[in-house]
Amino acid sequence: MADSEENNSLFPIFILSMIALPLVPYTILKLFRAASKKTKCINCQCSDCARSGKYRKSVLKRITSVSTCGNLTLVLLWVIMVILVYYIKHMNSENQVFEPFSILGLESGASDSEIKKAYRRLSILYHPDKNPDPAAHKYFVESISKAYQALTDPISRENYEKYGHPDGRQGFQMGIALPQFLLNIDGASGGILLIWIVGVCILLPLVVAVVYLSRSSKYTGNYVKNDTLGAYFHLMKPSLAPSKVMEVFIKAAEFVEIPVRRSDDEPLQKLFMAVRSELNLDLKNIRKEQAKFWKQHPALVKTELLIQAHLTRETANLSPDLERDCKRVLELAPRLLEELIKMALIPRTNKGHGWLRPAIGVIELSQSIVQAVPLSARKAEGIPPFLQLPHFNDDIVKKITRKKVRTFHELQEMTIEERAELFSQVANFSAAEVQDVENVLKLIPSMTVEVTCGTEGEEAIQEGDIVTVQAWVTLKRANGLIGALPHAPNYPFPKEENFWCLLADTNSNSVWFSQKMSFMDEAAAVSAASTATGERMEVLGASPKETSAAIREAVEKVKNGCRLAMGKFLAPAEGNYNLTCYLLCDSWIGCDRKSSLKLKVLKRTRAGIRGGQVTDGGSLPEDGIDEEEEIEEEEEEEDIESEYSEDEEDNQDTNKKGLANGKVSETSVSESSGSDEE
């Protein structure tokens, strides 16, 4: 066992090794990711967005973006590593091995006369009689005299030349990488070693585990409280109208924690009078409705009023405290809305389907919050898409609609010269303002979707089969970008576009399949498409060559601006089903798309009629016709009050071309949804 000095010198080396092992590869990986990240302008750069300041790279924002908690921790660990390296190097220089020849400035094997000459020469420089410096005196006594004595003694010199040490062969030494005070067992610190072992090996992991479990028990993976998910789950109803989604959204536990100050009473009263028309209050019993509204939890009342102030673009009149609270509410809104739509799409029925109506309502609320468009304006035909353009307001929209431009789609179909003339004549826009509008119009996505349904390896779909849904979504913009940030100058934070692909039956208000997609991360989309395509080809029994070709084709599609949504659902009972595939964006108004599918499910027989063994004169087509007539009778039973429920009969009339043996007939994508279809 080595002495305490040897143990004390090993402890910094041990700490340095423990820090360097994970730190070095993690730093290399992070630098590689930072170097490979593309710096590309993905926002519209209009004057409204520039005035909002959320995309401006000021010095403070640059420092804040770099000086995150993880980056600061990384820099701190590297500083500790440099200090440890310097300390270990300095410590090794102090504890260097005793070498007599190097001290005297001689080579190994020097003669006695050379040793004496070197000793006399160094004595003139460091002897106390010649040099009064205390450091010189110490060096002469501890190094020069000791080296001369070791080399002039025959036994010491022979030991040094043979074993590298004047005292002869040295034994094997072993040290413990702990500080010296923990190993001073003879003194009063003997029990500290036990405390160190218990604290580091038992208490520290236990404390970390308790803190982690206590936090994970309160929050989900999306940093949303479990109490919020529970409230959303119980408050979500299948008949929840889009106008009532706000009442469920504000019940989040995160909003309850927003502070309510006494100084906020008067500003909130004024804000209530300003946004009272947006609160769905019964005007006939306005006093009772107001009293009922103010009896709610104060934090929830404050949250709803702040959201309505944002939707009506009245945040400029808020006090600094309320403006700060409003930003906090808007910061929490995206992930809370995402969890809210998941609660709407979670399987609730006995068939494992979600609910369509509340899901659409949540998407509409998300669009309104991002674009700061009042919910009451969503009821007006053609107005909401115009309000997301820069420099537009209600008066300008009314003037433009009088010039035979009634829908947003008609505005997009106009040429640049026609739009410039229209804006300059009707709205008195300057050239810069016209350019801002053009930049936003080029940024609005245009989407198409191709959907197919079928049973893997079979031509027909029988009841109880596992049906595979495959939807290729293509996004195009006039400016050539694929992934981009939406134009949202009134929303105070950068917001990425998210798209939801829903395969639903509007007659039963059920969602059979849903998937969230993003066009920002191309690498993740390539990986997901490759994996899904490979699994599908493996189920079909394709050869490796065919599988590779299919994967290459899927990757090429993704790189060209497509995304793959693939999933499975259980085939329902025998019959013909008119399904609708919705493609909804949570950030833009008026760019949603939907396409119709006709799904035919055959009755399962004992002998099996898989592989298209049905004859042309069989009874199954007749059953399908009877089932189709029953479905047509059920279409009149339920009417979903949403912008997506209009003209369903027109969509059904265009989808009468289904294949005979249970294949899905694919239809073209509608040009617009909601108010754009009018």
Supply the pLDDT for residue 57.
55
Strand partners, 455: 467
Rounded Cα–Cα distance for residues 640 and 240 (Å): 10
Note whether 486 and 468 are within 8 A (CB): no
Average the pLDDT over 300-306 and give the result.
Answer: 93
Average the pLDDT over 336-354 and give the result.
Answer: 90
Rounded Cα–Cα distance for residues 512 and 567 (Å): 10
Rounded Cα–Cα distance for residues 10 and 2 (Å): 11
pTM above 0.95?
A: no
Distance from chain centroid for Cα 417: 40
Among the residues of 226-319, which ranges form H helices? 226-235, 245-249, 253-256, 265-275, 286-294, 298-311
Average the pLDDT over 134-144 and give the result.
Answer: 81
Note whether 356 and 338 are within 8 A (CB): no
Supply the pLDDT for residue 614.
35
Q: Give the confidence band of 479 by pLDDT, cuts at 50, 70, 90.
A: confident
Instruction: Give the Å distances, CA to CA, from 371 to 43, 104, 178, 396, 398.
Output: 14, 82, 60, 17, 19
Task: Please calculate the CA angle 653-350-224 and round it to the nearest 5 degrees.
Answer: 100
Residue type, 621: P
Question: Encoding tokens for residue 45?
Answer: 């750069």
Name which residue leads in pLDDT, 635 or 154: 154
Long-range contacts of 429-435 (CB under 8 A, 24+ apart): 429/391, 432/47, 433/47, 433/390, 433/391
Task: Please calculate the CA angle 656-661-666 and round it to the nearest 5 degrees.
Answer: 40
Strand partners, 534: none
Rounded Cα–Cα distance for residues 370 and 490 (Å): 8
pLDDT value at 527 more than 80: yes
Say if strands 354-355 and 510-517 run parallel, antiparallel, or are unpaired.
antiparallel
Query: pLDDT tens digit string along 414-455?
Result: 999 999 988 888 888 999 999 999 999 999 999 999 999 988
Angle between helices 226-235 and 320-345 (to 10 degrees): 60
Q: Give the confidence band of 674 by pLDDT, cuts at 50, 70, 90.
A: very low
Rounded Cα–Cα distance for residues 663 and 451 (Å): 12
pLDDT value at 667 more than 70: no
Rounded Cα–Cα distance for residues 49 and 46 (Å): 5
Long-range contacts of 291-294 (CB under 8 A, 24+ apart): none
> For all residues of the chain together, what is the average pLDDT?
79
- Other C-beta atoms closer than 10 Å to the C-beta of 397 total 22
Note whether 660 and 607 are within 8 A (CB): no
Find the range with the poorest average confidence among 4-13, 35-44, 425-434, 664-673: 664-673
pLDDT value at 510 more than 90: yes
Question: In the sheet where 466-476 sits, what is the strand order?
Answer: 446-455, 466-476, 562-570
pLDDT value at 142 more than 70: yes
Residues in Cβ contact with 419 at an 8 Å cutoff, skipping those fewer than 6 apart: 411, 434, 437, 438, 441
Supply the pLDDT for residue 446.
92
Q: Give the confidence band of 16 by pLDDT, cuts at 50, 70, 90.
A: confident
Residues in the chain: 678
Average the pLDDT over 203-214 and give the result.
Answer: 83
Name which residue leads in pLDDT, 667 or 366: 366
Rounded Cα–Cα distance for residues 501 and 580 (Å): 10
Among the residues of 164-203, which ranges form H helices? 190-198
Question: Encoding tokens for residue 317?
Answer: 């009149």
Which of these, 295, 354, 302, lies nearest to 325 by C-alpha position?
302
Residues in Cβ contact with 355 at an 8 Å cutoff, skipping those fewer than 6 apart: 236, 238, 240, 344, 345, 348, 509, 510, 511
Q: Give the confidence band of 48 by pLDDT, cuts at 50, 70, 90.
A: confident
Residues in Cβ contact with 279 at an 8 Å cutoff, skipping those fewer than 6 apart: 293, 304, 308
Query: pLDDT tens digit string along 513-522?
Result: 999 999 988 8
Rounded Cα–Cα distance for residues 67 and 73 (Å): 9
Rounded Cα–Cα distance for residues 55 and 494 (Å): 8
In 350-425, beta strands by DSSP E: 354-355
Supply the pLDDT for residue 658.
37
Supply the pLDDT for residue 547.
92
- Other C-beta atoms closer than 10 Å to the C-beta of 245 total 26
